[in-house]
Amino acid sequence: METKIFKNTEIEAAAKDLKAGQLVAFPTETVYGLGADALNETAVKQVYQAKGRPSDNPLIVHVADIQTVERLAQPLSDAAKKLMTAFWPGSLTMIFNLRPGVLSKAVTGGLNTAAFRFPANDTTLALIKAVGHPLVGPSANTSGKPSPTTAQHVAHDLDGKIAGIVDDGPTKVGVESTVLDMSTDQPAILRPGAVTAAEIEAVIGQTVATEIHQVGAKETPKAPGMKYKHYAPSAQVLIVNDGDWAEALAWAAKQPVQLGLMITDDRLHQLTVPRNVEAYSLGQDVTTASHHLFDGLRHFDDETDIKDILAEGFSNDGIGLAYMNRLKKSAGNTFFEA
């Protein structure tokens, strides 16, 4: 299959392929998604095949208006409506109980719930409207690999496997949306992202559960990233805490192989980097680090001589929680030990 690259002015051509049951990757403000018509079960099943994704891992449904959610979900609570007003379009995904029979089990992983998102990307909103149906949109990458933040990342993983990619340039946020479970009595964050628990609580006046866990081997996850290893390059990632940098680089200098280094600029300027270590800038702070995280992991994944990657850790405050959630998954929760 030839994978076409659509400009953001070629929405109708991309929509035509989606209407025909093909897969087309699309941009959002967070990462690129792998799109299929959410109401076409055959097309949705192709998403799992293209990604190599386990079929019990449910897919996020992307919409271009709140009315679509109201048609598919059980009646929305006042809290849900407040969150939609505050954060949609934007980087918040919400899980709702569904009306019977509205979505295929291929979308929901067999559950009676589904995750919905209204992305803050004009190109993709126009695409959804042109298709006339909501789109499923898991990250447009090979399952388990770092999520794509450019059309080139998508092509690297899925060229020849999907019909097309809508290229809208690099994404703005760089880590996937916050996933908030609104199908239970107490809202719970199942995946942290740019929208924080404190921001959600300020809108709904209710405490949000934030204990993020992996589900058991026989359980079906409600959201992506709860069961399977994610975001992992071929090299081993080692997370480095604040006080361990001198020891980490001393250890790196003794290694007989090339290593990667993902680090903020200020910290880099305070250190002496060994010759066998290639540095990748995470920018100035945790916000820019979140934006560059997946690109950095992919950068070193393309360099086959890199065997280990030292990556800067941050506190779990604000977006740092989302950054560390992704980094720990990419590292298999492995830290450098001085």
Q: Is 117 annotated as a binding residue?
A: yes
Closest CA to 133 of 12, 38, 11, 24: 38
What angle (nearest 5°) sits at the alpha carbon of residue 99, between those of residues 203 and 124?
60
- What's the CA gap between 76 and 296, in Å, rounded? 39
Average pLDDT across the chain, whole number: 94
pLDDT reported for residue 54: 78
- Average of per-residue pLDDT across 146-169: 97
Whether domain 236-331 has CATH 3.40.50.11030:
yes
**3-state class of 266 per DSSP?**
helix
Please tell me the CATH code under which domain 4-204 is placed: 3.90.870.10
- What lies within 8 Å, CB to CB, of 164 at 6+ separation is 3, 4, 5, 6, 14, 17, 22, 24, 25
Q: Is 113 annotated as a binding residue?
A: yes
Per-residue pLDDT tens for 90-124? Answer: 999 999 999 999 999 999 999 999 999 999 999 99
Residue 55's pLDDT band (cuts 50, 70, 90): confident
Per-residue pLDDT tens for 265-309? Answer: 999 999 999 999 999 999 999 999 999 999 999 999 999 899 999
**Which helix (H) or strand (E) is 252 found in, with range?**
helix 245-253
Per-residue pLDDT tens for 305-330? Answer: 999 999 999 999 999 999 999 999 99
Residue 25's pLDDT band (cuts 50, 70, 90): very high
Domain boundaries, the chain: 4-204, 236-331
Q: Is 191 annotated as a binding residue?
A: yes
Q: Is 323 annotated as a binding residue?
A: no
Which percentage of the chain shows pLDDT scores above 70?
Answer: 95
Q: Is 32 annotated as a binding residue?
A: no
Q: Is 139 annotated as a binding residue?
A: yes
Q: Is 147 annotated as a binding residue?
A: yes
